[in-house]
Chain A
Amino acid sequence: MAVGALLGLLAMRPAAASNWPSVLARARGQHVYFDAWGGSERVNAYIAWVSRQVAACCDVTLREVPLEDTAQAVTQVIAEKAAGQNHAGTIDLIWINGPNFDALKRRGLLYGPFAQRLPNDRLVRRSDPEIRYDFTVPVDGYESPWRTAQLVFVYDSAYVKHVPLDIRAFPAWARRHPGRFTFPQVQNFLGVAFLEQALYALAPNPAVLLRPVTPAAFAQASAPLWAWFAQLRPYLWRHGREYPASGPAERQLLEDGEIDLMPSFDPASAAAAVLAGRLPKSVRTVVLRGGTLGNASFVAIPYNARHKAGAMVVANFLLSPAAQARAGEIRALGGPTVLDLKALTDAQRARFQAQAKDPWMPPPAALRHVLPEPHPSWAVRLAAAWERRYTP
């Protein structure tokens, strides 16, 4: 056992490259079932593009399994474990991060570590903490990044000229624009992300957010948040009694003119919506002063996946400069790449730098300042505390 582990350690880097042809060979002809949140048409279209590419290059058939909620995939793997289905699981690859990753990793329901075995892994921007840690949980090679996301704010400049660039300024702005701002319900990741962003700005010592939550730490860190929220809530959309279900549902409210300002976890979402005619050209995207929460999206392979080799080929393709450059286009996914541009050849780099700037995207410099996601336990505690206080 110990010898095996030692051998594995020694073999890690060199063996990765030499093993890859055998992974490619095993992947040939495999059907990879990719469970991904299917609520975004842009992501679905991008995955359809990826599936055409991996079919052409590697003879892998990629089938997207569109989910309403990524937790469904977690439930599925847990149900399979419960049923003793340990070898022929139905899911080969999951678009995952944060609490869902933590839930599976903690139970040992993920295959790996596999990320280091992907040839394109060496191109990844390892310097970024949000790529090494997923909501502070060490990635440890159990998932591989494929895109990044960051909290931004989208507003309609036809109706409002100035929006708050500081969490502390939100209550005053809302009082001047009653009913024109809201954020998704706290059961949604974006809703809790907005509250966590406020926690970062208001907590006496934000460093505690990176450690697992304790009752004492939570009480201390959240006290200013509740005072702040008490000032904000009466001026929210529907007087803070009702909240939209998700980010896309809130985009619909912005299109309908029910609100003027909304958070989004996808810096390119507003730009893409403008290009698709789903938001007016007057929308703008901003990042708060001092930076906002950001994270990377990953793919992981369940412990019982039937087509692990095919899944690794897809994960590797997602990290290829071609796939990342395509993802960076606004009409595809938009948003910064997970690759280290310095590790690329000049020709590859050119494709990233050629990407056009437009008025609906946040200024690129603003996206540099990323705050790491708090430990997943904070989101759970924060949502529960919010529910206790504000659910009639």
Chain B
Amino acid sequence: MTGGVTLAARAQRADDGRRPRAWLRHAPRITVALFLVPIGAGLLGTALPAFGWLPGLHPRHWTLSPWRALWAAPGFGTAVGLTLMSGLSATILAVVLTFGCCAHLSHRPPGRLVRGLMGPILAAPHAAMAIGVGFLLAPSGWIVRLLSPWLTGWHQPPDIATVQDPYGIALTVGLLVKEIPYLLLMSLSALGQVPARRQLEVAAALGYGRTSAWLKLVLPQLYAQLRLPIYAVLAYALSVVDMALILGPSNPPTLSVLALRWFSSPHVQMYFPAAAAALLQLGIVAASIAAWRAGEVLIASLARRWIARGARHSVLEPLAALARGVVGGLMLLGASSLLALAVWSVAAVWRFPDLLPQRWSGAVWHQQAGTILWPLGTTLLVAAAASAAALLLVLACLEQEQRCGAPVRSRMLWLLYVPLLVPQIAFLFGTQVLFTVLRLDGTLLAVIWSHLLFVLPYVFLSLSDPWRALDPRYARTALALGSSPARVFLRIKLPLLLRPVLVAAAVGVAVSIDQYLPTIFAGAGRVVTLTSEAVTLASGGDRRVTGVFAVLQSVLPLAGYGLAVLVPRLKRGPWRAGSIS
């Protein structure tokens, strides 16, 4: 015990002796400034028109009429209800199913099937996944084709709203397909920091079932690290645009799609209710997060009593098995959706109720080969630059925080999450004006910067908790033994945390490839990426061309995730990432 204290004290002195470099000291401030400027401008650009003032165009007096217009808009109430229902149910189900699945699998790592399916699903952009899921679920889709006409007797598809249903069920399913693998990935990477196996063995010895032991012992330790990813999922599910356009109903659509519709109207007066809707969307997200937080407190206090009672529940086991089955089914749905898109990309004639195309053709790939190289290169360049910049900033912030021993203030931390909370369409209009003023609009730099806004929070989300959870004694010991902080960072922390660092980089690449609205706003349409091209083509409803782009879009981030998983495994020896716990 005394030895530990002495070591720590010596490490502290060693730390004091080498003051962090100036740029490192400013890292959090630089990071926040890179965010505050475009987001501040963007929020202002949303807030001002919401109260009747649009700079440069409509010099008007302050008014609440945008809110009255929003209130009176046809379908407004239904849209808000739909937003809340699909967003909240998708998040609650995703969290419950993820935890159930983790609890069920606690005794062993997830099966090869789950891991194998997770990669492509995580990697596929939301829009591509939505198109694929749409094709599977549609009344003329793959599932009905599989059963027709031999079982159903249908030679023509039935007129049933299995996608774009008025309750947003298809949208919820689509969100689950995308968000559960993300939460699973975050859980797995956080689980590396919890000595789960030993604790579970102890619990098992005391007669606890697998699931209840996991819920009582591991989950409370895990949850703190998953809180922000869950909030990000909540905010995303409530304000998603591209998936809602494809899987959600349109009459009326969700609130964010309604805002997008008005923002892209040629009638400038529609910006006012659009801005009000965007602000309301922000309010809905904020209120939902607050409600979630309250729910956490409530459940925690109930759960403490439940844990203290020490009951050994057996009913939880089948429930967890069920959750695992549902997760497996959703992953199968996601993987089949991607497969369906791949098949569509080589389909010549494919009509209902044929399970597979009547005629195949490589014509679409051939046609697209010439036009695809340029967007492909741009996509890779932007993704690499944005995630490298994000990784650099996040590592600098985390390192600075540890060296001066003061965690980034939570207020500052929340600023980082603003891009994940504000509906993109709303604050990107203001950001676009800023880029135009800086003469940056339509440049690669502007696109990289705007991607950074969304990449950095995810990189921070996936990296900060594992980084902070790293046992500080490793670093202290090394410092006490005379290593410089830079050497400790490079030789101790980075190798120990190689897996989370690479996963964070892969998340960054995937998030960048996923970005549609930031690309078209900051790029002024001139910077064309695979995704901007794919969504534009998807608006043309052509599954074949969309299939080509979706396959490429999915393969790219998949390669990134593959590297993130493979590299630490190749790097055997004492610094192997898996050896922490």
Show the binding face of A for B, using Cβ within 8 Å.
33, 35, 38-41, 44-45, 48, 63, 65-76, 78-85, 88, 90-91, 99-100, 102-103, 159, 178-179, 185, 187, 237-239, 241-246, 248-253, 255-258, 277-278, 280, 380, 384, 387-388, 390-392
Total B residues in contact with A, Cβ cutoff 8 Å = 61
Q: Are B268 and A391 in contact (CB under 8 A)?
A: no
Minimum CB–CB distance from A381 to chain B (whole Å) comes to: 12
B interface majority secondary structure:
loop
Q: Contact: B140 with A66, CB < 8 Å?
A: no
> Interface stretch among B207-215, B284-292, B376-384, B531-539?
B531-539
* Min CB–CB distance B580 → chain A (angstroms): 46
- On whether the beta carbons of A79 and B266 are closer than 8 Å, the reply is no
Let me know if B157 and A245 touch, CB within 8 A.
no
A123 to chain B, nearest CB (A): 30
- Residue numbers of B with Cβ under 8 A of A are 54-57, 74-75, 78, 138-140, 156-157, 159, 161, 164, 166, 245, 249-252, 261, 263-268, 348-349, 351-352, 359, 361, 367, 371, 429, 432-433, 436-437, 439, 441-442, 520, 524-526, 528, 532-533, 535-537, 539-545
- Some 5 contacts from A to B, beta carbons below 8 A apart, are A39-B537, A82-B433, A242-B164, A251-B541, A387-B75
Shortest Cβ distance from A255 into B: residue:
B351
Least CB distance from B522 to A in Å reads: 11
Closest B residue to A76 using CB positions? B524
A257-B526 in contact given A40-B540, A69-B539, A390-B251 (Cβ < 8 Å): no
Assuming the contacts A65-B526, A72-B525, asked whether A248 and B250 have C-beta atoms less than 8 A apart, the reply is no
A38 to B546, CA, bound (A): 13
Query: Is the Cβ of A159 less than 8 Å from the Cβ of B156?
Result: yes
Q: Which residues of B contact A48 (CB under 8 A)?
A: 371
The answer to whether B249 touches A242, judged by C-beta atoms less than 8 angstroms apart, is yes
Indicate if the CB atoms of B542 and A248 lie closer than 8 Å: yes
A277 adjacent to B361 (CB under 8 Å): yes
Question: When A and B form their complex, which 4 residue pairs have the shortest distance between CB atoms, in order from nearest?
Answer: A39-B540, A82-B56, A179-B159, A391-B75
CB distance from B466 to the nearest CB of A (A): 38
Q: How many Å from the CB of A289 to the closest CB on chain B?
A: 28
Report the bound CA distance from A76 to B442 in whole Å.
11
Query: A74 → chain B, closest Cβ, in Å?
Result: 5
How many angstroms from the CA of A225 to the CA of B138 in the assembled complex? 31
Q: Is the CB of A392 within 8 A of B166?
A: yes
Bound-state CA distance A65–B540 (Å) is 15
Indicate if the CB atoms of A257 and B433 lie closer than 8 Å.
no
Tell me which of A84, A248, A277, A388 contacts B348 (CB under 8 A).
Answer: A277
Task: Tell me which residues across on chain B come within 8 A of A72, comparing CB atoms.
Answer: 264, 520, 525
Q: Distance (Å) between the CB of A157 and the closest chain B CB?
A: 15
The reply to whether A71 and B54 form a contact with Cβ atoms under 8 Å apart is: no
Taking CB atoms, residues of chain A closer than 8 Å to B56 are 81-84
With A38-B537, A99-B266, A242-B161 known to touch, is A256 a contact of B250 (CB < 8 Å)?
no
CA distance A325 to B486 in the complex (A): 69
How far, in whole Å, are A48 and B371 apart by their CA atoms in the complex? Answer: 10
> Which one, B75, B268, B541, contacts A103 given CB within 8 A?
B268
Are B74 and A387 closer than 8 Å at their CB atoms? Answer: yes
Query: Which listed residue, A33, A66, A68, A243, touches B251 by the CB 8 Å rule?
Result: A243
Judge whether B437 and A84 touch: CB under 8 Å. yes
Q: Which of B75, B540, B543 has the most CB of A within 10 A?
A: B540
**CB closest residue in chain B, given A277:** B348
| Contact call A256/B351, Cβ cutoff below 8 A | yes
Other-chain contact of A242, B245, B250, B432, B539 (Cβ < 8 Å): B250
Q: Which of B140, B249, B359 contacts A277 (CB 8 A)?
A: B359
Q: Are the C-beta atoms of A39 and B351 separated by less than 8 Å?
A: no
By the criterion CB–CB under 8 Å, are B264 and A75 in contact? yes
Q: Could you tell me if B525 and A35 are in contact, using CB atoms closer than 8 angstroms?
A: yes
B74 is contacted by which of A82, A159, A388 (Cβ under 8 Å)?
A388
Complex CA gap A391/B249 in Å reads 11
Look across to chain B and name the residue whose beta carbon is closest to the beta carbon of A238. B161
Cα–Cα distance between A138 and B514 once the two chains are bound (Å):
42
Whether A277 lies near B349 (C-beta < 8 A) is yes
Q: Is the CB of A392 within 8 A of B252?
A: yes
Question: Which of B268, B536, B543 is A66 in contact with, Cβ under 8 Å?
Answer: B536
Query: Inside 8 A of A69's CB, which chain B residues have their CB?
Result: 264, 539
Query: A256 to B157, Cβ gap below 8 A?
Result: yes
A391 pairs with B537, CB closer than 8 A:
no
The residues of A that contact B166 with a CB separation of less than 8 Å are 241-242, 392
Interface centre among A65, A82, A237, A246 (most CB of B within 10 A): A82
Asked whether, in the complex, the Cβ of A82 is within 8 Å of the Cβ of B57, the reply is yes
Q: In the complex, which of the residues B164, B267, B359, B437 contacts A83, with contact meaning CB atoms closer than 8 Å? A: B437
A257 touches B351 (CB 8 A): yes
What is the minimal beta-carbon distance from A55 to any residue of chain B, in angstroms? 15
Chain B residue numbers with a CB within 8 Å of A67 are 525, 536
Chain A residues with CB under 8 A of B75: 387, 391-392
Inter-chain CA distance A201–B285, complex, in Å, is: 47
**B352 contact set on A, CB distance < 8 A:** 256-258
A102 to B268, CA, bound (A): 12
Alpha-carbon distance between A384 and B125 when the two chains are bound, in angstroms:
33
Which B residues are in CB contact (< 8 Å) with A185? Answer: 250-251
Kindly report which residue of chain B lies nearest to residue A187, judged by CB atoms.
B261
**Pick from A73, A81, A257: contact of B57, CB under 8 Å:** A81
Taken together as a complex, chains A and B put the C-alpha atoms of A277 and B348 apart, in Å, by 6
Enumerate chain B residues within 8 angstroms of A253, measured Cβ to Cβ: 140
Q: What separation, in Å, do the CA atoms of A243 and B251 have in the docked complex?
A: 8
Q: Which of A38, A73, A244, A255 is within 8 Å of B536, CB to CB? A: A38
- Which residues of the other chain, B, contact A249 by a CB distance below 8 angstroms? 541
Assess the A90–B441 pair: CB atoms within 8 A. yes
Known: A83-B56, A248-B541, A391-B75. A258 touches B436 (CB 8 A): no
- A257's partner among B157, B367, B442, B542 (CB-CB below 8 A) is B157
A103 and B441 within 8 A (CB)? no
